Each structure stands twice: as C-alpha cells, then as structure tokens.
Amino acid sequence: MALATPALGGRTAGDVVRANLTKSQRDVPGLLALIALLTSVLVTILVLFTLIGTILVDAVPFLRDRGGSFVTRTIGSNPDVIGLWPGLYGSFIIGLGVIVIAFPLGIAAAVYLEEYAKPTRFTRFVQINIRNLAGVPAVVYGVLGFTIFAGWLGGLTGGKTVIAAALTLAVLVLPIVMITSMEAIRAVPQGIRDAGYGVGASRWETIRDHVLSYAAPGILTGTVLSLARALGEAAPLIVVGALAGGVGLLPETSLDGKFTALPMLIYGWSGQPTDADNRWQFSNSAAAASVILLALVLFFNFAAILLRNRYERTRTGS
C-alpha cells in the first residue's frame, strides 16, 4: 500500500486540474448561464437606450426652441409658453429637506445601531423593521404625510405645502439611508477601530476620524441613491396635495402656498391631450422636464463620485 506524500498529493491535484482544463467536454450549464446573463444585460441596455432615445427625440427640439424660458416661466394651459420653474423650485425644496432631515438622522441612527447599541433582541427587532420599512410602497408614506404633516402638524407646516412634502419624502428615504450607512459601517475592518483605541482615542474619536472616514464612500453612495429616489417620487406628492401641472394652475413658489414638483409636472403633462393649434405639445414639455430631472440626478451622482474619490485618496494617502 503506497503512502500518501506531499509530492504525490501535488501530482494528483495537478493531474486533476490539467484534466479539467484540457477535457473536451463542455460545461453546458455554465454556458447556458453565461448566455442568459449576457441576454439580460443586452435587454436591459436596449430598454434603457430606447427610453432615453424616445425622451430625447421629443425633448431636444423643444429645448432648442424654448431655451431658458422653459426653466424660468410658470405652468399654464399653452405648451408653447409654459415653464417648469414651480416644479424645479418644489423639487429643490424637497431635495433640501431630504438632505437636512433624512441624511443626518439616518447616518446618526446607523452609527448608534452599529457602534453603540448592544446586540440584544430588541436591537435586532429594530434592524429588521428598518429593512421592512424600506420596502413599504411610496403611496403609504404619502398617506402618512397627509395625515401627520399636512393634518396633525398643519399648523406648523401650513397644510398641503412643500414643507409637508419634503418631510414626507425625508421619512420615505430615511430607512434607505440607514440601511446603506449601516452596511458601510459594518464593512469597516475591526482592525481600524483597534488601531484607534490603541493610540488612546475615545470611542467617538475613533468613529469620527477612522470609521466614518473609511465608510464615507459607501455612505455617500447610499445617500445619493436615496436623494434620487426622493426627487423621482410622484405618488406621495399626489396624496400630500401637489398640483399636477394641469391647465390653469399657477402655484406660488413659496413655502406656505400651492406647490408642485418635477415628477408631478411630468405626470400631469403626459396626460394632457394633443392640440393641433399649438406648435409644441404637452408631451414635448413632459419629455423636456424628464431630461432636466435626469440631469439633476446625474449631477448629484457626479458630485457623490467626486466626494467618494476624495475620501478614497484621503484614506489611501495617495
């Protein structure tokens, strides 16, 4: 009986690898999986470019003809002269509300749950429900905002105003900010914390100077994704009372008056009938508003990428 030696084991493993690499039999399941994955990628890219191309075909001539007047004018009944300034103003206030309310609260809650809270049954219960809240339909948050922010707290928010809409969408994206921040903080190696404690830093100093710095790229990615979702939501705004940009509606660009937002304008203009007497149609206005909304989202993504790369360079010392 031959004894098993390291040399014999190495030859045996090498023979197995060589046989697998040189065998003529093809990996049929793996090939089918590769074809399915490539098909999924191609279909996704095709749908994306079809959507963008369809929007650009209607939007580019309209924007070239209208120029800056489309941004500065208000909504109305004539697509040849309307603008999206009220919607742009409303989306700006909503985005500002998300940044001011949801980002600090979400990141602070994630830091507490990951760095301070003990792993008890109650903590796990809270984390599970945070993940469940991230999957709640947006219209449910709209009902919540209508009841609480526009109803119970109407004396503070002014009722169906852009403030109530900003608070509603901040609550909507708060679970997303918390989840992405928790995952980014959890991915920080324990050795970084131990190194901070080893040089005499307190827990907060370690979290502030080392943990959050290391987790900043992941946190930024999550916050930008949540901001993009907030800017693109229409269902909660409908419930809270945003105007859909219909005929004759002229909302004030104020914090306590009627309001609208870019998703609402796109929704309202897309449903308007065609009028042969007008040079441009409401569908062109909706496509142009969609392009501007996409540009805003891409701008925030670009800013997040720049900040993420900056933190990466700071962390690596390059």
Convert the pLDDT of each residue in 191-244 to its tens digit. 999 999 999 899 999 999 889 988 988 898 889 889 989 999 999 999 998 887
Q: What pLDDT does 297 receive?
A: 87
Output the domain CATH number for residue 103: 1.10.3720.10
- Residue 261 three-state SS: coil
User: What percent of the chain shows pLDDT beyond 90?
Assistant: 57
User: Average model confidence (pLDDT) for the chain?
Assistant: 87
DSSP-derived secondary structure letter, 148: I
pLDDT at 130 over 70: yes
Summarize the confidence of residues 187-194 as an average pLDDT. 92
Query: Which structure tokens are listed for 5?
Result: 């030696």
Residue 68: inside a domain? no
Summarize the confidence of residues 63-80 as an average pLDDT. 89
DSSP-derived secondary structure letter, 131: H
How many CA atoms, within 13 angstroms, populate the side-chain half-sphere of residue 300? 21
pLDDT at 36 over 80: yes
Q: Answer whether 121's CB lies under 8 Å from 196's CB.
A: no
Distance CA 70, CA 73 (A): 6
Residue 170: inside a domain? yes
Residue 34's alpha-carbon distances to 10, 30, 169, 292, in angstroms, are 32, 6, 40, 37
Residue 66: inside a domain? no
pLDDT at 24 over 80: no
**Residue 300 domain boundaries:** 74-316
Q: How many structural domains are present in the chain?
A: 1
